């Protein structure tokens, strides 16, 4: 067995190289979220039941009926491609190391999601809520809040990414509502935790890895996500692989009109592992550049995550101590990014 260290402890899987089994789409369910925008409570409850089944059995699902215009998605990918085509010095001017809150550019091999590996084969740009410097939480040093960094050479980049970011927040609220229904909680249960959410978004560029591949240096190493859940949009290039409950890697190809949603570590903690946070990785061997846009949605930084009363009892005690969202996410970034580690060179 191979072991990956995550924020919720070690996770094991069967060593199988970089290959993944081609599986029918039915193994990663497709859920229509259109009812979550309507007034039919029974239809919304059915979405919640489908989400419960997906989150307890797989940890991933495809989401269609999300209501995000295709033109907005295409514009965001176009803006991302323009950014990654900039000269390296322009991108390094907004290096993520300039921001305590992880906003800005990460160069190739600047991240190492699997701490047993040698670095991830992608470039990235990170943003989150636009929080001005004079905001009280910024002034108090609350982790996760602050202004974004933007490339001076691309004036259209900021509005394109912020428009997509806003759409993801709106859809994320509907996913949280479905999670509440799945957990037999009031539909608006999670809203009180989302007054100033940790809404971290990335655009990523993966080169194709052709020829022999070092298993310790792939597009993004095996890992679980940190927040409550991730909404992933990819181009048509397949690369994502998901670890199933049998310890096998399963291909998760892009589906037209769908986002890919997966449970993160904080939701696993919140539900005492009733909802599964699933290991996944990305390997691009397509012969083409690959672009993706993950959006990581979590609660406000100062909110404390502790096991829900409905997810514990005398025979199922809490597995995790309470922790604030900000403290948890900061600890995971410290483990993942080379520039946040004491012996790393300055950017």
pLDDT (0 to 100) of residue 116? 78
Q: Which CATH code is given to the segment(s) 2-16+30-340? A: 2.60.120.330
pLDDT band, very low/low/confident/very high, at 187 (cuts 50, 70, 90): very high
Has residue 185 got a pLDDT over 80? yes
pLDDT (0 to 100) of residue 111? 82
Distance between CA atoms of 23 and 253, rounded to whole angstroms?
10
Alpha helix ranges (H) inside the chain: 41-57, 70-84, 88-92, 136-139, 157-182, 265-270, 325-336
Q: Among residues 217, 231, 224, 213, which one has the least CA distance to residue 286? A: 213
Of residues 285 and 23, more confidence is placed in 285
Residues 116-142: pLDDT tens digits?
Answer: 778 889 999 999 999 999 999 999 999
Question: Where do we find the tokens 């950014």?
Answer: 83
b/e sequence 173-194, b meaning 16+ C-beta within 10 Å: bbbbbbbbbbbeeebebbeebb
Q: Is 98 strand, coil or helix?
A: helix
pLDDT band, very low/low/confident/very high, at 341 (cuts 50, 70, 90): low
Contact 103, 149 (CB under 8 A): yes
pLDDT (0 to 100) of residue 6? 58
Has residue 344 got a pLDDT over 90? no
The domain locations on the chain are 2-16+30-340
Has residue 190 got a pLDDT over 60? yes
**Phi, psi values for residue 138, rounded to 5°:** -65, -45
Has residue 60 got a pLDDT over 60? yes
Distance between CA atoms of 277 and 269, rounded to whole angstroms?
9
Has residue 25 got a pLDDT over 90? no
Contact 104, 126 (CB under 8 A): yes
Distance between CA atoms of 339 and 315, rounded to whole angstroms?
43
Of residues 300 and 244, more confidence is placed in 300
What proportion of the chain, given as a percentage, has pLDDT over 70?
Answer: 89
What is the mean predicted confidence (pLDDT) over 24-45? 89
pLDDT (0 to 100) of residue 16? 46
Residues 225-278: pLDDT tens digits?
Answer: 989 999 999 999 999 999 877 778 888 999 999 999 999 999 999 999 999 898
pLDDT (0 to 100) of residue 193? 97
pTM to 2 decimal places: 0.89
Q: Which of 69-78, 298-307, 327-336 has the lowest mean pLDDT?
A: 327-336
The HSE-up count of residue 186 (CA atoms within 13 Å, CB side) is 5
Contact 295, 230 (CB under 8 A): yes
Has residue 3 got a pLDDT over 50? no
Mean of the per-residue pLDDT values for the chain? 89
pLDDT band, very low/low/confident/very high, at 110 (cuts 50, 70, 90): confident
Q: Which of 177-181, 185-189, 334-338 has the lowest mean pLDDT?
A: 334-338
pLDDT (0 to 100) of residue 254? 94
Contact 20, 249 (CB under 8 A): yes
Has residue 100 got a pLDDT over 60? yes
pLDDT band, very low/low/confident/very high, at 342 (cuts 50, 70, 90): low
Has residue 24 got a pLDDT over 70? no
Contact 293, 309 (CB under 8 A): no
Strongest mean pLDDT among 5-9, 204-208, 251-255:
204-208
The HSE-up count of residue 138 (CA atoms within 13 Å, CB side) is 14
**Phi, psi values for residue 111, rounded to 5°:** -125, 150
pLDDT band, very low/low/confident/very high, at 8 (cuts 50, 70, 90): low
């Amino acid at each position: 067995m191979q072991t990956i260290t995550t924020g919720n402890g070690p996770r094991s899987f069967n060593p199988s190289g970089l290959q993944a089994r081609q599986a029918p789409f039915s193994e990663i369910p497709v859920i229509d979220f259109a009812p979550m925008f309507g007034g039919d409570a029974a239809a919304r409850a059915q979405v919640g039941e489908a989400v419960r089944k997906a989150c307890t059995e797989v940890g991933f699902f495809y989401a269609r009926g999300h209501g995000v215009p295709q033109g907005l998605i295409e514009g965001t990918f176009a803006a991302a491609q323009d950014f990654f085509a900039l000269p390296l010095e322009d991108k390094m001017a907004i290096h993520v190391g300039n921001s305590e809150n992880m906003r800005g550019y990460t160069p190739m091999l600047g991240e190492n999601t699997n701490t047993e590996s040698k670095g991830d084969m992608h470039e990235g740009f990170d943003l989150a809520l636009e929080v001005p410097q004079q905001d009280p939480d910024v002034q108090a040093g609350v982790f996760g809040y602050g202004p974004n960094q933007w490339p001076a050479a691309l004036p259209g980049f900021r509005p394109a990414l912020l428009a997509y970011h806003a759409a993801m927040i709106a859809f994320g609220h509907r996913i949280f509502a479905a999670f509440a229904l799945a957990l037999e909680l009031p539909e608006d249960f999670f809203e009180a935790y989302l007054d100033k959410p940790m809404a971290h978004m990335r655009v990523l560029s993966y080169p194709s890895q052709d020829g022999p591949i070092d298993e310790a240096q792939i597009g993004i190493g095996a890992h679980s996500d940190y927040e409550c859940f991730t909404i992933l949009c990819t181009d048509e290039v397949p690369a994502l692989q998901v670890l199933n409950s049998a310890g096998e890697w399963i291909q998760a190809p892009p589906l037209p009109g769908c986002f890919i949603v997966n449970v993160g570590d904080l939701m696993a903690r919140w539900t005492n592992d009733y909802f599964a946070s699933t290991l996944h990785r990305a390997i691009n061997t397509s012969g083409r550049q690959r672009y993706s846009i993950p959006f990581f949605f979590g609660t406000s930084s100062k909110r404390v995550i502790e096991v829900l009363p409905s997810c514990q009892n005398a025979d199922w005690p809490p597995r995790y101590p309470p922790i604030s969202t900000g403290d948890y996410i900061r600890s995971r970034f410290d483990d993942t990014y080379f520039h946040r580690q004491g012996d790393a060179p300055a950017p």
